[in-house]
Structure 1
């Protein structure tokens, strides 16, 4: 089973433009993320795929592997699908470009999903993390996921799901961590299918998979992702280093 990591990297960002090219302890955010993915030793190869010559050149000049997108893309999945369409790979891991503190353990867990899936029931695997603070639960930037008894995703939302009409009934609120593992065919199917209303409304690409009947296996982790979405997040990351 050939497994690669692909890091989709847009230069523009609504909340924090050019965040991937910001300095983080002497290296750019995107370069640190790329190097962290390689250092997990989990992948047969690692690529950055981008619409930006600045990001492309940043990776290549540091002896990394980068791919320039040919088309404009609405989502990271579209960008990755174009890049891997003609590659001989089985599993593609989407690593977020703004998460330079990659932990190998949760990545290993999503890879294990496919190694154990002998009946090919899983199209995608992703991660979730329990959140308990009310502010975190209500924050629309924290995407929540609800799952069935086998931990297959039922729905993702920026809203509070499930709605707490009744308290103290054992509901856990799970934050979606945006690391995906795809079967290559599921990724190519996504690339060929039009966006539907749920994805358009929530601006969450994972809803396209659900709307077309793909099965997303969620894996719980205790490792919270540390993404850089704002200048304040960048300052926290610098302090962590």
Structure 2
């Protein structure tokens, strides 16, 4: 029997570079609604927006979506989705939890099941995505997170490290990490209970907390990177990419 999946989209209003980002207008609809629709089109599980904003909650509900209020003081999206899971699924029916960022309005829906697929291995705690870096400018860009991993099959890596540096050294491919995660439910519970780790704080990459705790992260290699909207320029690019 297929494992039940919950797709959670954390969304908060506070964004330094683009205030009110989830409600930014893209062809007459808030950005968070575009992300919710892409997640629904994935047909991979129940989709819920987890927010600390009544405005976001109402925008999602007005579009016909499901949303839940969470506390405003969460340090990360992982903490927010964990609170949401405990609220919307207290009976523990869902065994797989997807953390889908709320600033990916150009998301290709097929990336959601692609992210979940590595959990088919019973040894995997967390699954995520990466794409081959083809642009030389991305190789040295600290805003492009790289995953260093060992191949474990066709288009699969076992993650050894995540870094903002250009790594690994030497000839060979580099992989751009895509910040979508699928957790086994007990792995998510364990992860949010861990204290911030040394390398996590140094690189400012939350996923290193899991690796430092010896949790296994497997990576599916895909052929597209969704646009993450962090700045007004990103928003304009998203408007151009999404047909009105």
Report the equivalent of 2:123: 121
Q: Is the 8 A contact 2:39 2:112 kept in 1?
A: no
Q: Residue 140 of structure 1: CA displacement?
A: 1.4
| 2:17 and 2:231 in contact (8 A); partners too | yes
1:107 aligns with 2:108: no
Structure 2 residue 155 is the aligned partner of structure 1 residue 153? no
Residue 217 of structure 1, CA deviation: 0.4
Instruction: For 1:103 and 1:11, locate their aligned partners in 2 and report how far apart those are by CA, in whole Å.
Output: 24
| TM-score of the superposed pair, with normalisation by structure 1 | 0.91
Please state if 1:81 is matched with 2:82. yes
1:89-124 per-residue CA deviation (whole Å, 9 max, x = no partner) reads 10011111011122132222222222x32xx20001
Secondary structure at 2:143's aligned position in 1?
coil
Q: Deviations over 1:128-159 (max 9, x none)?
A: 01113232111111111100132110111112
CA distance in 2, matches of 1:13, 1:202: 20
1:178 paired with 2:184, answer no
Indicate the SS of the match to 1:217.
strand
Please report the TM-score for the alignment, with normalisation by the length of structure 2.
0.90
Structure 2: gaps spanning 5 or more residues:
none
- Asked whether the equivalents of residues 115 and 220 of structure 2 are also in contact (C-alpha less than 8 Å), the reply is yes
CA drift at 1:79: 0.9
Equivalent-residue separation in structure 2 for 1:55 and 1:161 (angstroms): 38
Q: How many Å separate the matches in 1 of 2:201 and 2:75?
A: 10
Q: Which residue in 1 is equivalent to 2:200?
A: 199
Structure 1: 5+ residue runs without aligned partners?
A: none
The yes-or-no answer on 1:21 pairing with 2:28 is no
Q: What is the distance in 2 between the residues matched to 1:161 and 1:12?
A: 32
**Contact 2:50–2:70 (Cα < 8 Å) also in 1:** yes
How far apart, CA to CA, are the structure 2 residues paired with 1:137 and 1:48?
A: 33
Provide the aligned C-alpha RMSD in A: 1.4
Structure 1 residue 71, shift from structure 2 partner: 5.5
Give the Cα separation in 2 of the matches to 1:24 and 1:5.
22
Q: Higher mean Cα deviation, 135-144 or 122-131?
A: 135-144
Cα deviation, residue 186, structure 1: 0.6
Offset of residue 25 of structure 1: 0.7
Conserved 8 A contact 1:50-1:69: yes
Instruction: Tell me the SS of whatever aligns to 1:4.
Output: strand
SS of the aligned residue for 1:98 comes to coil
Match of 1:218 in 2: 219
Range moving further from structure 2, 59-68 or 3-12: 59-68
